Amino acid sequence: MFPDYLDGAKVKFYTKKDNFGIVDYNGGEKMININYLAICKYDNTQGYYLFFCKEGLG
C-alpha cells in the first residue's frame, strides 16, 4: 500500500507502479529506479510537489 505521507507532505495522487526512469548519483556509481510518481502537498503551503519514488515505500 502506498503511504499517506512522504517527507511530511500529504499524498494527493500517485501513479501505478511503472518504470519512470532512473536517478543517477555520483557519475553512475549509484542509480535509483523510479517506480512511482506522487503529487503531494505540505500543510500551510500553496503549491504542490512532485515526488519521484522508488519501490518499497511503506
Dump the DSSP string for 14-44: EPPS----EEEEGGGTEEEE--EEEEEE-TT
Q: Hey, is 6 helix, strand or coil?
A: strand
Global confidence as pTM = 0.85
What is the rounded CA–CA span in Å between residue 10 and residue 21? Answer: 24
CA atoms within 13 A on the CB side of 14: 24
**Amino acid at site 54:** K
What is the C-alpha to C-alpha distance for residues 2 and 12, in angstroms, rounded to an integer? 11
Read off the pLDDT of residues 9-35 as tens digits, 9 standing for 90 and up.
Answer: 999 999 999 999 999 988 778 899 999
pLDDT, mean over the chain: 93
